Chains A and B, each alone.
Chain A
Amino acid sequence: MRKIALENIDMLFSAISDKMSLFLPVDQNDGKAAYTKWEEGKKWSCALNTVKSPKDFFFPQTEDMMEFKVDGKNIEVIDTRKASEDFVVFGVRACDVRAFDILDRVFLTDPCDSYYATKREHGIIVSLACTRPSETCFCTAFGIDPSNPKADVSAWKTEKELYMQSNTEKGEKLLKVLADVTDEADEEKVNEQKEQISSIMKRLPLAGLDTSEFGGGKTDEFFHSPAWDELSETCLGCGTCTFVCPTCQCYDIKDFNTGKGIIRYRCWDSCMYSEFTRMAHGNNRNSQKERFRQRFMHKLVYYPENNEGIFGCVGCGRCLSRCPISMNIVKVMKALGGKENE
């Protein structure tokens, strides 16, 4: 394990950014944190999390896939993929780290998505243990330990120091690069913090949220539940929950007519939108209720069914704090009959 004094943290950032691009949460003018490329003078945010999740680094909101140039009867197909360089995403919380695993299972499974895979190969994730989780946090419901985040390098911020532990080959390489600015450390302070965090987690309002009612094989049980009517009744059909979600992975592929050809790009899609999965025969989810149900069934039933029981939600709480009508997965779980642990 390595450590560095927080007062010297810029030395660490500078050492990383000498070698490759470094992205970390920085407070914006509205006080909210967003992942920003680090340069001298940028201050690492103390915020618990960013409004937008870090999924953008691997699955950007819009991404050119290829280009077609038309010249008479000839069509030229141009590969628009750029060579990726290594980069570091720093300060990723345990929930968002798990989200990468959820996306991996979608994009890296045969047929592997090369756009996603390339970025994933070049991205080095440094996670950060949570010290002050919010009332909207419920990652532990999905078996995530916020005191012990995974990723290439795990980090813990104590009062005066940052501790780092590598978990992968990529992580080890990064810590070697940082050997000059960091010192060897023992685990005492980190273990202390881990204990503190676990005791806080038990006191969070959503600590008792139980997922055992949900999972694969429960489609029939929940699909026709009368609860969906009421839950979806005032949904605006906007895409906020899906766009701030670290695990929502649906996308659309569209052609942009440049006049001389086509740029084919993909962009995030949202099951909340009326045009979602619209096809030649029309739309298979015509009502907002059906679209609303899709989102939660996907997270709580369909995804675990196809992925060894792993849920498609990580309990980051973004939809809880950002939904314009404050409807969210916790309210859905409770209404569908999810029990609360004692």
Chain B
Amino acid sequence: MQKITTEQLIEKAAELMNEGKVASVLGWEKGEFGYDVTPGIFGSVDELKAKFVYGDFSAANLSKYLVKKTEMVQGQALVFLKTERKILIFLKPCDSYSFNQLLTEHRFDREKVYAVGVQCDGMVDIEKVKKIAGDGLLSVDTSGNDVVVKTLYNGDMKIAKADVLAERCVNCKSKKHVAYDELLGETGEVIDSNRFDEVERIEKMTPDERFAFWQNELSKCIRCNACRDACPACTCEKCVFDNPKSGVENKSPANSFEEKLFHIIRAYHVAGRCTDCGECSRVCPQNIPLHLLNRKFIKDINEFYGDYQAGAEVGSRAPLVDYTVNDVEPGEVFDRGDENA
């Protein structure tokens, strides 16, 4: 499979801009060290040429930005104020699931968006690179299937990309783009991944072990809300945790009970809507494997109601909000909980 390059994406975006099809581009912007890529909005071809990048660190899922970017202001979307042209978004396969899920929930206006699906070869986790190469990275580049790093203390190094792939990419659930207006590079298939292995491992723990596992993980939480703010399923206009009138608003975990509840409540709230994009764990400054909570829900939903993938198509009814006579009886769920206990 041939790699898709930054230049190809810039060329495509420039073409659409010059044709007058799109007014701005939602993409990724170069950083200081090669790996610190920032989501960016590009308004001109010059800007694209100067700053746009697509590569192993274009990890951020951009779909959620469409909520704000196509927002209506007095009846007109922001990007429509000056022009009738659309906003261009680049979607990796997993981003396209979030894109569809947001559409299912009527969170942005599809008419104002031009989506280009881009081939994804997996994203690199810089923490994994640092574990091998050490600190003091002067540059990080990709060459074929290798990540090439120049370091201050350990010289130059070539690391197999497969060894430093992000967890969510190691367990990639799909290389298939489920939404796009046009494609750059190849699209793939849904993958029968091992993403539930870790969930199974935790299910097999005794209740005490499981409690200790989550206690240890969640006690690291600093309540920065990054998981929530990056989550494409978290698009409430006013989160209950930010609303002083809700009675549960809090800026810090007041105690260990509260810090656990925040994550559990969030997991429940996105259950059936979470596409398993993995942004929550990627952005967590404390490396809490938050995606495992969501995967547990996905696994349970699959087992109770048949396989369901949020975002696989627009308008699908999530099992938890779609009553059918074949639905599992609450008693069965209860019994199963007992078995796992």
Enumerate chain A interface residues (CB-CB to B < 8 A). 28-32, 34, 48, 51-52, 61-62, 132-136, 200, 203-206, 230, 233-234, 236-240, 242-244, 252, 254, 256, 265, 267-270, 273-275, 278, 320, 322, 324-328, 330-331
Q: Which of B135, B152, B226, B249 contacts A236 (CB 8 A)?
A: B226
Which label, helix, strand, loop or mixed, suits the secondary structure of the A interface? loop
B261 sits at the interface (CB 8 A): no
Q: Is B153 an interface residue (CB 8 A)?
A: yes
B285–A135 CB distance below 8 A: no
Of the candidates B60, B135, B250, B252, the one whose C-beta lies within 8 Å of that of A132 is: B135
Measured between alpha carbons, how far is A238 from B64 in the docked complex, in Å? 14
* A285 shortest CB reach to chain B, Å: 14
Q: Do A200 and B41 touch (CB < 8 A)?
A: no
- Closest Cβ of chain A: how far from B155's Cβ, in Å? 13
Indicate if B38 sits at the interface (CB-CB under 8 A): yes
Residues 218 to 241 of chain B near chain A (Cβ within 8 Å): 220, 222-226, 228-230
Q: Please, how many angstroms separate the alpha-carbon atoms of A62 and B6 in the complex? A: 45
Which residues of B are found within 8 Å of A31, using beta-carbon distances?
Answer: 131
Q: Is B327 an interface residue (CB 8 A)?
A: no
Pair A273/B242 contact, Cβ less than 8 Å: yes
Partner pick for A331 among B31, B131, B228, B286, CB 8 A cutoff: B31
| B254 in contact with A200 (CB, 8 Å) | no
Whether B226 pairs with A238 at a CB distance below 8 angstroms is yes
B229, A324: Cβ atoms closer than 8 Å:
yes
Q: Is B292 an interface residue (CB 8 A)?
A: no
- The answer to whether A325 and B39 have CB atoms under 8 Å apart is yes
Shortest Cβ distance from A241 into B: residue: B224
A321: min CB distance to chain B, Å: 8
Which residues on the A side are within 8 Å of B33 (C-beta)?
A: 135-136, 205
- The contact of B152 among A204, A320, A324, by CB within 8 Å, is A204
Given contacts A205-B32, A256-B254, contact A61 B153 (CB under 8 A): no
B224/A238 in contact, CB under 8 A: yes
18 cross-chain CB contacts under 8 A:
A30-B286, A48-B135, A61-B223, A132-B134, A135-B33, A200-B152, A205-B138, A230-B41, A238-B230, A238-B283, A240-B226, A243-B223, A244-B224, A244-B285, A270-B224, A270-B251, A273-B225, A325-B60
Q: Establish whether residues A240 and B285, one from each chain, have CB atoms under 8 Å apart when the complex forms.
A: yes
At the interface, yes or no: B8 with Cβ under 8 Å from chain A?
Answer: no
